[in-house]
Amino acid sequence: MSFPEWAEAIVAGVRRYLPDARAVRKGARTVVIRHGELEARLVDDGGAFCISFHVGDGAKTMSGLVDRDRRDAHTTS
């Protein structure tokens, strides 16, 4: 799956739960999803496709969903 296909699938899933969420492409390797004051970034970092967002107090969480080095899909938290 390519990054654009992956990002479209994630955005579609988010919009099922949050229909007014907005998604904006920032170059070839980043998509930003916004809902109210919240923001999540979908990023192709070259080795994996990742989702990151701030969870409060400056903390940031990230999850890698596709690892090209392992050539499989997995989830980490």
Residue 39 near residue 54, CB atoms below 8 Å: yes
pLDDT score of 16 = 96
- Binned at pLDDT 50, 70 and 90, residue 72 comes out as low
**Parallel, antiparallel or unpaired: strands 22-25 and 30-35:** antiparallel
Residues 31, 49, 66, 59: is their CA dihedral positive or negative?
A: negative
pLDDT score of 34 = 94
pLDDT in tens, 40-65: 999 998 777 888 887 767 666 766 66
Residue 46 makes CB contacts below 8 A (sequence gap 6+) with: none
Q: Cα–Cα–Cα angle for 70, 72, 74, nearest 5°?
A: 105
Most confident of 3-12, 49-58, 68-77: 3-12
